[in-house]
Structure 1
Amino acid sequence: MKKFLLFTSKILVLAIVIAILLDFIYTAVYLQSSNRGKIDQVYNSENENYDVIILGSSRANNHFVSQMFKDKGLKTFNYGMSGGHLFEADLLLKLMIERHYKIKNVILEADLNLTNEHRADGISSKFLPYLHNSKIIKEHFSTEEDFNYLYYIPFYRYIKFDPQIGVREMFFQAIHKGTSHLQNLGYHALKDGKTGNMKNNIVSLKPLNHNKYYEEIKQICKENNINFIAIMTPMCENVVGMNYFEKVQKAYPEIHNYENVVIENKYFSSCGHMNDIGAKMFTARILKDFFPPSSPSPKVRESK
């Protein structure tokens, strides 16, 4: 029995040592990479200057054409992340401020994600390689139920989120293999042909009266003299429950409602995502309303 316990103890110690070593190696690789995604690009950069930063989910990523802003002389990057929630948008902005980004305007896609304060594991996990290296990230995750496991158990986060930050992704980070996420100034165009669901029912959705992460983004902008522009983006004409956007307007009157600027199905790839043609129509309207050519600074527009 004594020999068995001794053997078990040695195996346990060896496993812990290996876990610590692997954690160190994986983290070291992520700390040297900045060309795979939007999160590692921000984390491993500093002192960037932007006229416009775009934040949000896929409804930001697919709807705001960065090049059109650039053509107007506005240095812009679309940091919208497909599948992301306001949890991730808030943390990404915090990292930008920590890294001394100078930002004049933040455009936040704020509509459907106002219904929750949950993290999106597929996106939030990409912050986890830096959990021990960033006080900002540690604090942001500190209220999560699994924080102690993620923070104190070596290599646990890499195992739990292997598809996102595990061995395959670590290898691509190590060889500096790029992705499409940073192309086109962060904007991802969807095809004109419909590829997704063209029917959507949002009757059951209800915006929170006080979304923690939305309020934090707004406060960060205020404290750093950043012009904050919150926008609801379009959905196709087949959507049931469009009064959701009226509920958002009532709870957050400062959010500009653009859900009906583009409505025809032919401008959508799926009911919640415009195709490239629709996105260009929408972006043109945003530029006209908030960044008119004659104005040296963004126009503050009354909410609809």
Structure 2
Amino acid sequence: MKKFLIYIAKISVVTVLIAFLLDGLYTYIFRHSNNRGKIEKVFNSKAQKYDVVFLGSSRANNHFVAQMFEDKGLKAFNYGMSGGHLFEASLMLKLMIERKYEIKNVILEADLNLSNEHQAEGISARFLPYIHNSEVIKDHFSNEADFNELYYIPFYRYIKYDGKIGFRETFFITIDKKTNALDNLGYYPLVKHKNGNMKNNIVNLNPLKHNKYYEEIKNLCKTHNINFIAVMTPICENTTGMNYFEKVKKVYPEIHNYENVVIEDKYFSSCGHMNDTGAKIFTARILKDFFNK
């Protein structure tokens, strides 16, 4: 029995040591990545200066054409993340501030995601390689139910989110395989699809009266003298429950409603996402209304 317990103890020690070694190796690899995604780009970058930064979900990623701002002499980048929520948008801004970014204007896509305070695990997982190297990332996750496991158990986060930050991703980083996430200054243009879904139902959505992460973004901008512009972006006209945007306006009167600026189906790839042509029409309107460009 004694020999068996000693054997189990040795196996346990070896397992823990391997976990620490793999955790250190994976983290080292992620800390030397800057061409796979937007989170890595910010974490591993030096301080940047921007006239305009875009934040939000895919409805930011696919709707704000950053190059049109650059063409008008405004340094801009689209940090919208497809699939992301305000949880990730807030953390992205915190990370930029931690990295000493100088930002004059933040344009936040704030509409459908005002209805929840959830993290989008597929996106938030990409912050986790840096949880021991960034106080803002650590603090942002500190109230999550699995924080202790993520923070204190070596290699746990890489196992749990293997599909996002596991072996495949570390391998691609190692061979310097790029993605298109950073192309077009972060803007991802969509095309018109013949079979694109041009119907949507948002009847059951209701904006929270106090969305924690929206308020964080707004307060961060105020504290750091960043001009905060929150907008609702266009959605196709065949959407049931369009009064959602009126509800948002009542709760958050400072948010500018642009949901009906572009409405024709020919300008959409799907009901909730404009194609490149629609995005350019929308971006031109934003430039005109807020920057006199």
Work out whether the TM-score is over 0.5. Answer: yes
- Post-superposition Cα deviations, 1:165-218, rounded to whole Å, max 9, x if no partner, equal 000101111222211000000000001234532211000000000001100100
Task: Name the structure 1 match of 2:137.
Answer: 137
Task: Name the structure 2 match of 1:10.
Answer: 10
Counterpart residue type for residue 83 of structure 1: G
Taking the aligned partners of 2:101 and 2:286, their CA distance within structure 1 comes to: 23
Contact 2:115 2:206 in 1 (8 A): yes
Task: Name the structure 2 match of 1:101.
Answer: 101
Task: Name the structure 1 match of 2:190.
Answer: 190
How far residue 248 of structure 1 moved from its aligned partner, in angstroms, is 0.3
- Post-superposition Cα deviations, 1:248-281, rounded to whole Å, max 9, x if no partner, equal 0000000000000011111111100000111011
Task: Name the structure 2 match of 1:204.
Answer: 204
RMSD: 0.8
Contact 2:78 2:185 in 1 (8 A): yes
How far residue 102 of structure 1 moved from its aligned partner, in angstroms, is 0.7
Task: Name the structure 2 match of 1:278.
Answer: 278
Taking the aligned partners of 1:29 and 1:240, their CA distance within structure 2 comes to: 46
Change (3 A) 1:194 1:139: farther
Task: Name the structure 2 match of 1:296.
Answer: none
Gapped regions of structure 1 (runs ≥ 5):
294-304
Q: Say which SS state the counterpart of residue 77 (structure 1) adopts.
A: strand
Taking the aligned partners of 2:212 and 2:124, their CA distance within structure 1 comes to: 16
Contact 2:84 2:123 in 1 (8 A): yes
Change (3 A) 1:178 1:195: farther
Taking the aligned partners of 1:226 and 1:137, their CA distance within structure 2 comes to: 21
Q: Say which SS state the counterpart of residue 51 (structure 2) adopts.
A: strand
Task: Name the structure 2 match of 1:20.
Answer: 20
How far residue 47 of structure 1 moved from its aligned partner, in angstroms, is 1.6
Task: Name the structure 2 match of 1:116.
Answer: 116
Once the two structures are superposed, the pairs formed by residues 1-304 of structure 1 within 5 Å of their partners are 1-293=1-293
Contact 2:193 2:270 in 1 (8 A): no
Contact 1:194 1:268 in 2 (8 A): no
Contact 2:262 2:278 in 1 (8 A): yes
Q: Say which SS state the counterpart of residue 143 (structure 1) adopts.
A: coil
Taking the aligned partners of 2:53 and 2:175, their CA distance within structure 1 comes to: 29
Which stretch of structure 1 is more off in the superposition, 29-38 or 1-10?
A: 1-10
Task: Name the structure 2 match of 1:300.
Answer: none
Taking the aligned partners of 1:195 and 1:82, their CA distance within structure 2 comes to: 20
Taking the aligned partners of 1:176 and 1:33, their CA distance within structure 2 comes to: 8
Contact 1:189 1:275 in 2 (8 A): yes
Contact 1:195 1:269 in 2 (8 A): no
Contact 1:116 1:207 in 2 (8 A): yes
Gapped regions of structure 2 (runs ≥ 5):
none
Taking the aligned partners of 1:288 and 1:226, their CA distance within structure 2 comes to: 19
Taking the aligned partners of 1:2 and 1:112, their CA distance within structure 2 comes to: 60
Counterpart residue type for residue 192 of structure 1: K
Q: Say which SS state the counterpart of residue 228 (structure 1) adopts.
A: strand
Taking the aligned partners of 2:254 and 2:149, their CA distance within structure 1 comes to: 39
TM-score (norm 1): 0.95
Contact 1:192 1:277 in 2 (8 A): no
Q: Say which SS state the counterpart of residue 220 (structure 2) adopts.
A: helix
Taking the aligned partners of 2:156 and 2:136, their CA distance within structure 1 comes to: 20
Counterpart residue type for residue 26 of structure 1: Y
Change (3 A) 1:54 1:24: same
Counterpart residue type for residue 79 of structure 2: Y
Taking the aligned partners of 1:9 and 1:276, their CA distance within structure 2 comes to: 60
Change (3 A) 1:245 1:46: same
Task: Please identify runs of 4+ aligned residues in structure 1 that moved more than 4 A.
Answer: none
Counterpart residue type for residue 281 of structure 1: I
Contact 2:236 2:272 in 1 (8 A): yes
Contact 1:111 1:233 in 2 (8 A): yes
Counterpart residue type for residue 80 of structure 1: G
